């Protein structure tokens, strides 16, 4: 269990203060917010170097979702990536060589020689156009598609031939369960768990990361104590679910 602390948001979540968990202080880093410049990427790689890609990694706000790319750079054998996200994160990079929270999946498909396939689950149907040209290596189960029973049946039957790294951006959930600083989907927590269950039970899991925190602490006026408590409860629920079903 690794907690990457950029925005201090995890500091108020009691269940994360376990002596067995490893905290990585990232609060001092520059050039990491939404965009990750080459110097920051190099420093992040050094910070996570002592830690295994296996296990659960909490990577703060969706602004830092590109950390999935950095974590999976440690995998040196064929694997597939499953992403739960309201956004496909496959925009073209605005600046050549600059990693961002909006382009990291595309960057992985183009640069990671071990990545065999990507499965994006819960993204907006309107954003599917970002994935054009990658059809042979990408599966897209949109938020709208998953509202149909037939799509659930197809999803339950699909399988990947390689070990899987799973990434969860909680902006895929409705605001009843989490407050993020991005627009959110309509998925319920039981639906997310059911979908994750298919992967956890049927595929060999390498590691999992979770992001989608709203930046701020209990004192954040925009979030408020009620919203922060709801976020913490969702995080703890996800942690207990993963731990009981995979890493006992």
Q: What pLDDT score does 17 carry? A: 92
Residue stretches of the chain with pLDDT short of 70? 215-226, 246-248
CATH label of the domain that carries residue 8:
3.40.800.10
Q: How many domains does the chain have?
A: 1
For residue 119, give the 3-state DSSP assignment. strand
10: its two tokens: 């995890």
d(CA 141, CA 36): 28
Task: Give, as one character, the DSSP assignment of residue 5.
Answer: E
Q: What pLDDT score does 246 carry? A: 63
The answer to whether 221 touches 209, Cβ cutoff 8 Å, is no
- Per-residue pLDDT reduced to its tens digit, 109-142: 999 999 999 999 999 999 999 999 998 999 999 9
Per-residue HEC secondary structure of 43-90 comes to HHHHHHCCCCCCEEEECCCHHHCCHHHHHHCCCCCCEEEEEECCCCCC
Which residue segment(s) compose the domain that 157 sits in? 2-245
């Amino acid at each position: 269990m690794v907690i990457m602390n950029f925005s201090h948001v995890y500091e108020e979540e009691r269940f994360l203060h376990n002596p067995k968990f490893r905290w990585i202080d990232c609060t001092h880093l520059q050039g990491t917010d939404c965009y990750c410049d080459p110097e920051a990427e190099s420093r992040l790689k050094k910070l996570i170097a002592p830690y295994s890609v296996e296990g659960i990694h909490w990577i703060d706000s969706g602004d830092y979702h590109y950390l999935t790319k950095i974590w999976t750079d440690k995998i040196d054998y064929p694997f597939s990536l499953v992403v739960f996200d309201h956004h496909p994160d496959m925009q073209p990079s605005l600046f050549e060589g600059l990693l961002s929270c909006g382009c990291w999946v595309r960057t992985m498909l183009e640069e990671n020689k071990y990545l065999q396939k990507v499965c994006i689950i819960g993204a907006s149907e309107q954003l599917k156009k970002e994935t054009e040209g990658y059809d042979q290596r990408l599966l897209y189960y949109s938020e709208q598609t998953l509202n149909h029973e037939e799509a659930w049946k197809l999803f339950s039957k699909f399988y990947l031939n390689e070990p899987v790294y799973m990434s969860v951006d909680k902006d895929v959930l409705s605001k009843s369960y989490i407050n993020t600083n991005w627009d959110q989907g309509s998925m319920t927590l039981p639906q997310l768990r059911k979908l994750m269950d298919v992967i956890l039970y049927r595929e060999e899991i390498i590691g999992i990361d979770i992001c989608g925190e709203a930046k701020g602490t209990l004192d954040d006026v925009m979030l408020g104590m009620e919203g922060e408590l709801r976020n913490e409860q969702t995080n703890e629920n996800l942690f207990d679910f993963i731990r009981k079903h995979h890493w006992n």
